[in-house]
């Protein structure tokens, strides 16, 4: 479990804190999503959960972040990497450059930890299978598409068997085909029962995957709850956030009497289809 306890933080060059009194619980086996407008502090929060703040970035903080009761600020980074994996936006920057094949790239972090060879091979094979990238095992990481590289970056975190995986806008630099690959791997990770925090601007992705959403605005958590409730919250526009296409379509249809007044607005394709089917069947039967 990753827990933020009244955590505030300012970078060494910040004039004002970037995070303000953040209280947050990332619970074991749950898929959490973090949304917020640009510059609200989402990546900063991810760095704090993974220990890069304060270990690599310095700066000033109050309150604490704990990972399984260990205070992140007091735990050495090499110990934290086996507990919290962080996948960032640009897949290219996450490839070590030290290895010739995807298989070796995946083993790289384990080699550094001194994991024995048989165990290393086992974990690499397991991750190749989970992410359905066995066919890429002997390819050079540099020959891969952006989407494939990002899935390999996810894999290089998963081989460490962290308790939690944080993904910071993992599809933002990818084309639609690359995004699809990463989204498919998210589904596999979700099924594996791993603890996940996904930072994402694409609300539909969160609606499809997350159990719980947290909204960060100006460094403060302003709302938390299940995606269906948060993504249809009337305050979304005021927070600088949009709505899913399904919510917008149903809200417009409701003005024309084509969405039941007391039916919740949808955030997924399935919920939208169900609502519209209900209206059409009602009209056909009338």
Q: Which is nearer to ligand ATP, 13 or 261 (CB)?
A: 13
Q: Which residues from 20-49 bind ligand ATP, rule CB under 6 A? A: 36, 38-44
3-state SS of 71-127?
EHHHCCHHHHCCCEEEECCCHHHHCCCCCCCHHHHHHHHHHHCCCCHHHHHHHHHHH
Q: Smallest distance, Å, CB 72 to ligand ATP?
A: 17
Q: Smallest distance, Å, CB 181 to ligand ATP?
A: 21
Strands of the chain (E only): list them. 2-10, 19-26, 31-35, 60-67, 70-71, 84-87, 164-168, 195-199, 212-217, 220-225
Q: Which is nearer to ligand ATP, 40 or 94 (CB)?
A: 40
Q: Smallest distance, Å, CB 173 to ligand ATP?
A: 12
Q: Is 50 in the site for ligand ATP (CB under 6 A)?
A: no
Residues 6+ apart with CB under 8 A from 252: none
Q: Is 17 in the site for ligand ATP (CB under 6 A)?
A: no
Site string for ligand ATP, 240-279 (x = CB under 6 A): ----------------------------------------
H helix or E strand, kind and range, residue 207: helix 203-209
What three-state secondary structure class fits 132? coil
Q: Looking at 12-20, 102-110, 128-136, 145-153, which segment touches ligand ATP (CB under 6 A)?
A: 12-20
Q: Is 165 in the site for ligand ATP (CB under 6 A)?
A: no
Q: Smallest distance, Å, CB 203 to ligand ATP?
A: 13
**276 near 246, Cβ under 8 Å?**
no
**168 near 42, Cβ under 8 Å?**
yes
Q: Smallest distance, Å, CB 221 to ligand ATP?
A: 13
Residues that bind ligand ATP in the complex, under the rule CB under 6 A: 11, 13-14, 18, 36, 38-44
């Amino acid at each position: 479990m990753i827990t933020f306890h009244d955590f505030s933080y300012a970078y060494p060059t910040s004039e004002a804190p970037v995070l303000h009194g953040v209280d947050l619980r990332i619970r074991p086996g749950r898929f959490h999503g973090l949304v917020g407008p640009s510059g609200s502090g989402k990546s900063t929060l991810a760095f704090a959960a993974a220990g890069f703040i304060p270990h690599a970035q310095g700066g000033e903080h109050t309150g604490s972040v704990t990972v399984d009761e260990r205070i992140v600020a007091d735990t050495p980074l090499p110990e934290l990497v086996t507990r919290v994996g962080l996948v960032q936006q640009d897949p290219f920057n996450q490839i070590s450059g030290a290895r010739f094949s995807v298989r070796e790239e995946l083993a790289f972090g384990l080699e550094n930890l001194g994991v024995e060879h048989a165990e290393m091979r086992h974990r690499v094979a397991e991750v190749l299978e989970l992410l359905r990238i066995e066919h890429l095992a002997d390819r050079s990481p540099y020959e891969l598409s952006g989407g494939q590289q990002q899935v390999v970056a996810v894999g290089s975190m998963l081989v460490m068997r962290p308790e939690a995986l944080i993904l910071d806008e993992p599809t933002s630099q990818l084309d639609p085909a690359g995004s699809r690959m990463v989204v498919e791997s998210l589904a596999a990770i979700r099924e594996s029962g791993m603890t996940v925090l996904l930072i994402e601007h694409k609300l539909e992705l969160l609606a499809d995957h997350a159990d719980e959403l947290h909204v960060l605005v100006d460094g403060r958590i302003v709302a938390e709850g299940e995606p269906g409730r948060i993504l249809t919250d009337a305050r979304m526009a005021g927070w600088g956030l949009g709505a899913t296409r399904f919510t917008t379509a149903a809200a417009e249809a409701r003005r024309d009497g084509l969405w039941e007044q007391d039916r919740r607005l949808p955030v997924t394709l399935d919920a939208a289809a169900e609502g519209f089917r209900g209206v059409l069947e009602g009209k056909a039967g009338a």
